[in-house]
């Protein structure tokens, strides 16, 4: 029997991206005979309590991690890839006014909260009167995705600190990370890193056919994670998959970086692809007719059979 561990997967805690519940992912991984399952939801550990509870009941080993978007950098040639080349911070709109607290009312009674728009209408407002966060951004700065895995409790703590700082430095659904913080987290937590999805720097360069840029991106990440960085290859049945995998394999050979074969999972089973497409349409503020032209052309971002993974990527 083939020993296989999926190390790059998203549950529905990757909001409007992953489609399956954490327990469903864990149970199917056990059913398929996985050696372990890596849960790498975006920008945090929202689903770990549910994952841990489900995994403990059936004895499924879990690798905890997250996928983050680092500031995009430019690699013009081998050796030129540096965190100092990161794009400048994008200025966001100021947060909405939060009103003010009046300690004493005009009649001398107890204080009350004054909503910033209270003067516009004397009618009572239903529900929440304070907006605690800004509105969800519909467009975000382009970033280089990377998957980070915690090898143990120290790594989990270091990764938690890193993500928390990024969340505080950003805004709702748009955390901002810094390469210096990533280097510190890698050092103290001995984090393991994967090259990520098609939005990762290595994969993006490989898809463009730019071998030098792919090598530079690999060397940069390998320096940040010495002996703990791996290049991802996957096959979702798309025309570009073979071409990209061939070039990444060449990068692995040149840089002596090990390859792994996760499936960049976004749902448990193939029939869940329909739900994933609805979620993607919501995330993109599109109706389903408009989203038809933006839908993923594959339904294979699933927890695959180990034998299928071996057949697709054994070479």
Q: Which of 47-56, 186-195, 290-299 has the lowest mean pLDDT?
A: 290-299
- Residue in 308, 206, 295, 301 with CA at minimum distance from that of residue 263: 301
> What dihedral angle (degrees, nearest 10) is formed by the CA atoms of 192, 5, 142, 13?
-110
Secondary structure E strands in 61-141:
62-71, 100-104, 110-114
| Average pLDDT score over residue span 60-86 | 68
Is 69's pLDDT higher than 70? yes
Identify the band that residue 108 occupies on the pLDDT scale cut at 50, 70 and 90: very low
Give the per-residue pLDDT at 97.
Answer: 37
What tens digit of pLDDT does each residue of 218-244 get?
A: 999 999 999 999 999 999 888 899 999
Sequence-distant (≥ 6) Cβ neighbours of residue 119 within 8 angstroms:
none
Of 162, 94, 147, nearest to 260 by C-alpha is: 147
Residue in 209, 89, 63 with CA at minimum distance from that of residue 143: 89
Which segment, 14-18, 138-142, 261-265, 266-270, is predicted with the most confidence on average? 261-265
Q: How confident is the model at residue 283 (pLDDT cuts 50, 70, 90)?
A: low
Question: Residue 109: is its pLDDT beyond 90?
Answer: no
CA distance 179 to 200: 15
Torsion region of 33: left, alpha or beta (phi above 0 gives left; psi -120 to 50 gives alpha)? left
Picking from 54-58, 70-74, 194-198, which range would have the lowest pLDDT averaged per residue?
70-74
Q: Quick one: pLDDT band at residue 292, thresholds 50, 70, 90?
A: low
Instruction: Say yes or no to pLDDT of 76 above 80.
Output: no
Q: Rounded mean pLDDT of 143-160?
A: 97
Q: Report residue 288's pLDDT band, with 50, 70 and 90 as the boundaries.
A: low
Sign of CA dihedral 74, 77, 83, 84: negative
In angstroms and rounded to an integer, the radius of gyration of the C-alpha atoms of the chain is 22
pLDDT-derived band at 274, boundaries 50, 70, 90? confident
List Cβ<8 Å contacts ≥24 apart for 98-102. 98/130, 98/131, 99/129, 99/130
Distances (CA, A) of 93 to 30, 96, 137, 144: 46, 9, 11, 23
The pLDDT assigned to 188 comes to: 96
pLDDT of the residue at 65 = 97
**Residues in the chain, how many?**
315
Q: What is the mean pLDDT of residues 46-64?
A: 94
| Rounded percentage of the chain residues whose pLDDT exceeds 90 | 57
- Mean pLDDT: which of 22-26, 62-66, 138-142 is highest? 62-66
CB 263 within 8 A of CB 8: yes
pLDDT at residue 19, as a whole number: 72
pTM, two decimals, is 0.77
Residue 224's CB is within 10 A of a number of other CB atoms, namely 20
pLDDT at 130: 44
Q: How confident is the model at residue 96 (pLDDT cuts 50, 70, 90)?
A: very low
Q: What is the pLDDT confidence band of residue 192, given thresholds at 50, 70 and 90?
A: very high
- The DSSP bridge partners found for residue 70 are 144
């Amino acid at each position: 029997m083939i020993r296989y561990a999926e190390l790059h997967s998203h549950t529905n805690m990757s909001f409007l991206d992953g489609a399956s519940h954490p327990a469903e992912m864990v149970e199917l991984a056990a059913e398929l005979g996985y050696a372990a399952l890596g849960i790498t939801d975006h920008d945090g550990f929202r689903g770990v309590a549910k994952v841990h509870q489900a995994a403990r009941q059936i004895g499924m080993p879990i690798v905890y991690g997250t996928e983050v978007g680092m500031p995009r950098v430019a690699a013009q040639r081998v050796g030129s890839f540096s965190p100092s080349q990161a794009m400048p911070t994008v200025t966001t709109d100021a947060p909405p006014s939060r009103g003010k607290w009046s300690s004493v009312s005009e009649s001398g009674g107890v204080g009350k909260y004054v909503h910033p728009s209270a003067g516009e209408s004397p009618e009572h407002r239903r529900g929440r009167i304070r907006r605690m966060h800004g509105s969800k951004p519909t467009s975000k700065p382009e970033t280089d995705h990377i998957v980070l895995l915690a090898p143990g409790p120290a790594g989990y703590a270091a990764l938690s600190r890193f993500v928390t700082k990024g969340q505080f430095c950003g805004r709702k659904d748009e955390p901002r990370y810094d390469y210096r913080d990533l280097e510190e987290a890698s050092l103290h937590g001995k984090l393991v890193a994967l090259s990520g999805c098609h939005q990762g720097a290595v994969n993006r360069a490989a898809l463009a056919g730019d071998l030098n840029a792919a090598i530079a991106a690999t060397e940069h990440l390998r320096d940040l994670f010495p002996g703990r960085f791996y290049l991802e290859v996957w096959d979702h049945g798309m025309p570009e998959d073979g071409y990209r995998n061939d070039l990444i394999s060449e990068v692995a050979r040149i840089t002596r970086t090990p390859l792994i074969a996760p499936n960049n999972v976004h749902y448990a089973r193939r029939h869940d692809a329909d739900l994933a497409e609805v979620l993607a349409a919501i995330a993109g503020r599109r109706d389903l007719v408009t989203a038809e032209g933006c839908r993923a052309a594959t339904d294979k971002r699933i927890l695959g059979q180990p034998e299928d993974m071996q057949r697709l990527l054994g070479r």
